[in-house]
Amino acid sequence: MRKILVTSALPYANGSIHLGHLVEYLQTDIWVRSQKMSGNECLYICADDAHGTPIMLKAQELKITPEKLIESTYKEHIKDFSDFFIEFDNYYSTHSEENKEFSTHIYNQLKKNGNIIEKTIEQFYDAEAKMFLPDRYIKGECPKCGAKDQYGDSCEECGATYSSTEIVNPISIVSNSSPITKKTEHFFFKLSDYEDFLKEWISSDTTQLEIKNKLNEWLSDGLADWDITRDKPYFGFNIPDHDDKYFYVWLDAPIGYIASFKNYCEKNNKDFNEYWDKESDCEMYHFIGKDISYFHALFWPAMLEGSNFRKPTAIFCHGFLTIDGEKMSKSRGTFFNARTYLNHLSPEYLRYYYASRLTNKIEDIDLNFDDFISRVNSDLVGKIINIGSRCARFINKDFNNKLSGELKNSELIKKCLAKVEDIIKNYEDRNYSSNIRLITSMADDVNKYLDEEKPWVKIKNESEKELAQKICTDGLNLFRILIGCLKPVIPEIAKKVEAIMRCASINWENIEEIITSDKIETFEPIITRIDKDAIESMKNENIGDING
């Protein structure tokens, strides 16, 4: 049995979960579910990222405390994830005693190593708002390529990173005024102290090739000291012995992985060191978006190395989501919150569709609504679910719910079961789209068999009724196999099928079991086709949310 710790990036606690976020959480959840079907101990840990200036300002706008804001957001996030059947073993918050303890410990250890230095810097200051401005609260022209309307830390057009004071024609997002520069004392993590370690760490199979190449570019350019300080006012943890200085949110956010797992261990009497000790032989994987690879593949392993914690086994990056070929945008009506979707459509439609598009490459995926409707209605409902519906109808009506004691086509069942190893490997490798194609092809073979044998014709002939029962028993066993293969993707549908078949919870070991002679439950509709009107209603609600 493998012991695996899995994390997704922490969603920020000042806004709702949206369909773009769900690419990551669904990709991770599918991977974890497949591992659990193999009998592995696979723990899925996450938390709300609850610190930073945006949360402080949002709370001020709402006239509530930051604590109240993150509490209400936490409840909303938990509800949205649960309704999409995303199962965390622990979901916590970075605003916790555990996170404060580990953040302080790691900082003190890095300071003891000589990796923390103090510098006097000039930083943008909003004189109207009376606050220093975080990078993301400054916009202007990229100093490298000249692109307009870029944030103060990086350019979305050319990919360059830079100091906020380098940006051309800066504007404060807080007050829309031109900021001034002001001197302040900040603490820096000397990332360059870990250059040799990082070169060695990156050279192994810790990241995908595209990320590895980008990391090597950054390394070849030289690693700059990392500013880990924010000045008050700020919502976060104080830097030890400094009441007016706070840890930058990106320092304590990834430490939230450790804190959330510690919280899990305390609640479940588990050994924390078994997973996080430097010599641990347990596996650990981070699923993240490509835009935060710098933090996760440079800062984070260096912090862990310097504080004597284990490093990730690998970091899996994914691309962004587009909607009908467009970037997610509120102004264009292509920005959908998770709850807006759930108000109109089944979560398993989206789980299936994302799986049909996801690979282990760092490619953006497009939610094309016409393709979405087609894949769900034609493949999931029409080809796969329909197998169970057509076969169970005869078993329920004509054979008192009882399956035949014999199979007619054991060869087709063997042929489908022979694909299971490939399916397990595809899940392991995050090649979900390959699995959807493979399982759909298997369903085509099953439907071809049923169309050729025509049990609906044989059932009318008394001499062939027994044969029809065998054919439908074949079909239902094949249906169970197909749904078992899709179980990580459509877990609630799988539960309904298990109940209909009166079988044990399907896993990779028992999926090959054949059910004969047993009684099944009456087949109830499992999932219906997508009504295009539901898509239009969702879009209309989205427009109302934006305009409202």
Q: In angstroms, how far is the first alpha carbon of the chain from the final one?
A: 52
Residue 213: the pLDDT is: 92
Phi, psi (deg, nearest 5) at residue 542: -60, -45
Residue with tokens 């579910």: 33
354-387 per-residue burial string, b: 16 or more CB within 10 A, e: under 16: bbbbbbbebeebebbbeebbebbbebbbebbbeb
User: CB–CB of 440/384 below 8 Å?
Assistant: yes
Q: How far apart are CA 191 and CA 204, in angstroms?
A: 19
Q: How far apart are CA 184 and CA 427, in angstroms?
A: 50
Residue 136: the pLDDT is: 78
Q: How far apart are CA 413 and CA 490, in angstroms?
A: 21
- The alpha carbon torsion through 274, 430, 81, 49 (nearest 10 deg) reads 60
Q: How far apart are CA 164 and CA 181, in angstroms?
A: 11
E strand intervals along 127-160: 131-132, 138-141, 150-151
- Closest residue by Cα to residue 134 from 234, 44, 220, 47: 234
Which residues neighbour 299 within 8 Å (Cβ) at sequence distance 6 or greater? 189, 191, 226, 250, 254
Does 356-501 carry CATH code 1.10.730.10? yes
> What one-letter code names the amino acid at 488?
P
Within 13 A of 196's CA, how many CA atoms are on the CB side?
1
Residue 227: the pLDDT is: 93
Could you list the mean pLDDT of each consecutive 10-residue stretch along the chain, which spans 548 residues? 98 96 98 98 98 93 97 98 98 98 98 97 91 88 92 83 88 93 95 96 92 92 93 95 95 98 97 96 97 94 98 97 91 90 98 98 96 97 97 96 96 98 98 98 98 95 95 98 98 98 97 96 94 95 66
Assigned fold of 1-115+190-318? Rossmann fold (3.40.50)
Residue 544: the pLDDT is: 61
Domain spans of the chain, in order of start: 1-115+190-318, 356-501
Query: What single string gives the DSSP state of each residue in 181-201?
Result: EEEEEEEEE-GGGGHHHHHHH
